Amino acid sequence: MLYKLAAGLLISAFMATTAFGQTISVEGEVTTPLKLSVADIAKMKKTEVTAADRDGKTHRYSGVPVTDILQQAGVTLGAQLRGENMAKYLLVKSGDGYEVLFSLAELDAAFTDRVVILADQVDGKPLPDGKGPFRIVVPGEKKPARWIWEVTTMTVRFAKD
Amino acid sequence: MKKCWWLIWSGVLALSFLSGRVSYAPQPYVLEYPASFGHRINTPADNPLTKEGVYLGRLLFYEKQLSAGNKISCGTCHEQQRAFTDGKTFSTGVDDVPTDRNAMSLVNLLWVRNFFWDGRAPGLELQAITPLTAPHEMGQPLEVAAQKLQQSTLYPGLFNAAFGSDQISGDRITKALAQFERTLISADSRYDQYLEGRYQPDSAALRGLQLFSTAPAPEKKIRGANCTHCHGGPKFYIELYHNNGLDSLPRDAGREKQTGVAADRGRFRVPTLRNIALTAPYMHDGRFNSLEEVLDHYSEHIVSSASLSPVLRQTSNEAGGNSLRLTKREQKDIIAFLHLLTDSSFINNPNFSNPFN
């Protein structure tokens, strides 16, 4: 209980400094475009994954499965992920301008056991300055180049060619 | 003088050519660039490049009538010999009041998506409105610029050739300028020639390249400068915004002014390092006069703050160091490499030069 309270306080202090005014937009090929605030994401169900960052050390990351967010926006996953929807991708953007791409199939639980999360904590603490409030964590990937930090936008699109 | 006659003559030629024709048929301008630059280029559908448009844009780039009092042109602050910069900390326009930021190099803009040090202009056509009208730059409303050109003997025919009627407007002026700027491609430096096997750099420059492209890892005894993380790829920039540790409390908040987000404080767009030896002074406020000072900054003086780039935190050749801690010789080697990025065919390309000289 106390621990939870402390964590809550920590998170709100953090929100007051770095995360102020920041939201994550979910847009593109969605039925419901979303603008998620830190508070919105705090209400969602959390998952924990362990994975090694660039420092080579294994850390515990906690956050929301990316597919839960996509599902909330009405992205074609699960039974709908077939046919032309197989040509859809998710582009994730950072506040610093960096962009990384995932095909929908490499995120979907019907295709893979790997759970890609939108993390807001590492080893029980908020992400450090510059990397938060939210960072994508891709367990099992050898190089963390897709662990994009300071996520601001998630866009689903059809590949054009 | 000879050139001037030739200009008028080509204007007249364009006029007579077009008045004798019903349809207007400008010739497409074919851009040439290395495949390694990628095709993520930005030309709006309503402003395709044509030979006529690019030529007109070049004249306009050097046209002083586009400024209040006919004092300066774009070329005053963007000189070809300096890779389209002006060698000043801050530039001065028609009112002699210094600009807020250092003049940027105009190179490989075809791939840039958001212009200016803070990325506030999403497109070259839109970008051009700022220097044309800003009081400390050319200081003249677009309508006035258009009227002046309309009354000239030279321009109506050239606008006709480029856009299909001799009507001159602010919109067409910015379109032609943007067309010319998209042709400013630099891809023939000695580094490019080295990649093609046409040039052999000396060992200092090769050591510099190695450091430039390597992330330091003191625990594994790997020395590096990690410059490619931000200034990487064939174009020597990635379109990212970072705070590279110049100040703890920046006088110019940079991208934060655009977004209002605290994480953007002191963040600026990563500039290209192509032709970097020609474009001193350096940084958005021109605070460094030489590449030696730039390397000294990254090596010894990274200032920490809440918005300092994570890429520059704890990135050092010394365990626990807060700056790169390169040796003097390593800094010299990196500078030797940076000199390979000077493209003399770009700064001497006659198609980019002032046609009025």
Write out chain B's pLDDT in tens, 357 residues: 445 555 555 555 555 555 544 478 999 999 999 999 999 999 999 999 999 999 999 999 999 999 999 999 999 999 999 999 999 999 999 999 999 999 999 999 999 999 999 999 999 999 999 999 999 999 999 999 999 999 999 999 999 999 999 999 999 999 999 999 999 999 999 999 999 999 999 999 999 999 999 999 999 999 999 999 999 999 999 999 999 999 999 999 999 999 999 999 999 999 999 999 999 999 999 999 999 999 999 999 999 999 999 999 989 999 999 999 999 999 999 999 999 999 999 999 999 999 999
Partners of B122 on chain A (C-beta within 8 Å) are none
**Residue B4, pLDDT score:** 55
Contact between chains at A21 and B261 (C-beta distance less than 8 A): yes
Q: Comparing C-alpha atoms, which of B303, B299, B346 is closest to residue B327?
A: B299
Buried b (16+ CB within 10 A) or exposed e, A56-91: eeeeebbbbbbbbbbebbbbbbeeebeeebeebbbe
Where does the pLDDT of residue A1 fall: very low under 50, low under 70, confident under 90, or very high at 90 and above? very low
Q: Which domain holds residue A128?
A: 23-158
The two tokens of residue B183 are 């042709």
Sequence-distant (6+) residues with CB within 8 A of A59 are A50, A51, A52, A53, A122, A123
Q: Report the run of H or E that residue B84 belongs to, with start and end.
A: none
| Number of domains chain A is built from | 1
**Residue A8, pLDDT score:** 41
Q: Round to whole Å and give the CA distance between A152 and A22.
A: 7
| Mean predicted confidence (pLDDT) in A138-146 | 94
Q: Has residue A69 been placed in a domain?
A: yes
Give the distance, in angstroms, between the CA of residue B18 and the centroid of all CA atoms in the same chain. 34
The two tokens of residue B55 are 């030529």
**Residue A20, pLDDT score:** 46
Partners of A151 on chain B (C-beta within 8 Å) are none
B39, B114, B229, B241: best to mutate for the A interface, most A CBs within 10 A: B241
Which range has the worst mean pLDDT, A3-7, A48-52, B283-287, B290-294?
A: A3-7
Residue B247 CB neighbours (<10 A)? 14
Q: Give the gyration radius of chain A's Cα atoms.
A: 15
Q: Round to whole Å and give the CA distance between A64 and B170.
A: 50
Q: What share of chain A is helix, strand, coil (3-state, %, to 5)?
A: 25, 35, 40
Q: Has residue A66 been placed in a domain?
A: yes
For A70-123, what is each residue's pLDDT tens digit?
Answer: 999 999 999 999 999 999 999 999 999 999 999 999 999 999 999 999 999 999
Contact between chains at A22 and B264 (C-beta distance less than 8 A): no
Tell me whether A20 touches chain B (CB under 8 Å): yes
CA distance B54 to chain A (A): 30
Q: Has residue A146 been placed in a domain?
A: yes
Residue A13 pLDDT exceeds 50: no
Where does the pLDDT of residue A54 fall: very low under 50, low under 70, confident under 90, or very high at 90 and above? confident
- Judge residue B47's burial from the number of C-beta atoms within 10 Å of its C-beta, 0-12 exposed, 13-18 middle, 19 or more buried: buried
Where residue A77 sits, what CATH number does that domain have? 3.90.420.10
Find the helix packing angle between B170-182 and B142-150, rounded to 10°: 90
Contact between chains at B306 and A18 (C-beta distance less than 8 A): yes
> Least CB-CB distance to B239: which of A97, A130, A149?
A97
**Residue A17, pLDDT score:** 39
Q: CA B140 → CA B64, B134, B145, distances in Å?
A: 11, 7, 7
**Which chain B residue shows the shortest CA-CA distance from A15?**
B262
DSSP H helices in chain A? 2-17, 38-42, 66-72
Cα dihedral A50/A51/A56/A57 (nearest 10): -10
Q: Round to whole Å and give the CA distance between B139 and B64.
A: 12
Q: At CB < 8 A and 24+ separation, what contacts does A87-90 make?
A: A87/A158, A87/A159, A88/A29, A88/A156, A88/A157, A88/A158, A88/A159, A89/A156, A89/A157, A89/A159, A90/A66, A90/A154, A90/A155, A90/A156
Q: Round to whole Å and give the CA distance between A57 and A54.
A: 8
B239, B261, B316: best to mutate for the A interface, most A CBs within 10 A: B261
Geometric angle at alpha carbon A149, from A146 and A154, rounded to 5°: 75
> Least CB-CB distance to B264: which of A95, A98, A128?
A95
Question: For the whole model, what pTM was predicted?
Answer: 0.91
Q: Has residue A129 been placed in a domain?
A: yes
Phi and psi, residue B288, nearest 5°: -105, 130
Contact between chains at A96 and B267 (C-beta distance less than 8 A): yes
**Residue A21, pLDDT score:** 55
Three-class secondary structure of residue B80 per DSSP: helix
Q: Round to whole Å and give the CA distance between B4 and B14.
A: 15
Domains of chain B, start order = 2-186 (1.10.760.10), 190-341 (1.10.760.10)
Q: Give the gyration radius of chain B's Cα atoms.
A: 22
Q: Has residue A117 been placed in a domain?
A: yes
Q: Has residue A4 been placed in a domain?
A: no
Q: Comparing C-alpha atoms, which of B94, B91, B129 is closest to residue B284?
A: B91
Sequence-distant (6+) residues with CB within 8 A of B306 are A17, A18, A129, A130, B262, B263, B265
- Residue ranges of E strands in B191-332: 241-242, 268-269
Q: Has residue A8 been placed in a domain?
A: no
**Residue A16, pLDDT score:** 37
Partners of A22 on chain B (C-beta within 8 Å) are 261, 263
> Least CB-CB distance to B260: which of A17, A18, A21?
A21
Three-class secondary structure of residue B290 per DSSP: coil
Q: Has residue A55 been placed in a domain?
A: yes
Q: Round to whole Å and give the CA distance between B276 and B272.
A: 8
**Residue A2, pLDDT score:** 44
The two tokens of residue B355 are 């046609």
Query: Is the torsion defined by CA of B163, B166, B170, B176 positive or negative?
Result: positive
**Which chain A residue shows the shortest CA-CA distance from B310?**
A130
Q: Comparing C-alpha atoms, which of B29, B24, B65, B47 is closest to residue B158?
A: B24
Residue A12 pLDDT exceeds 50: no
Max distance between CA atoms of chain B, in angstroms, equals 75
**Residue B14, pLDDT score:** 54
Partners of B242 on chain A (C-beta within 8 Å) are 96
Tell me whether A128 touches chain B (CB under 8 Å): yes
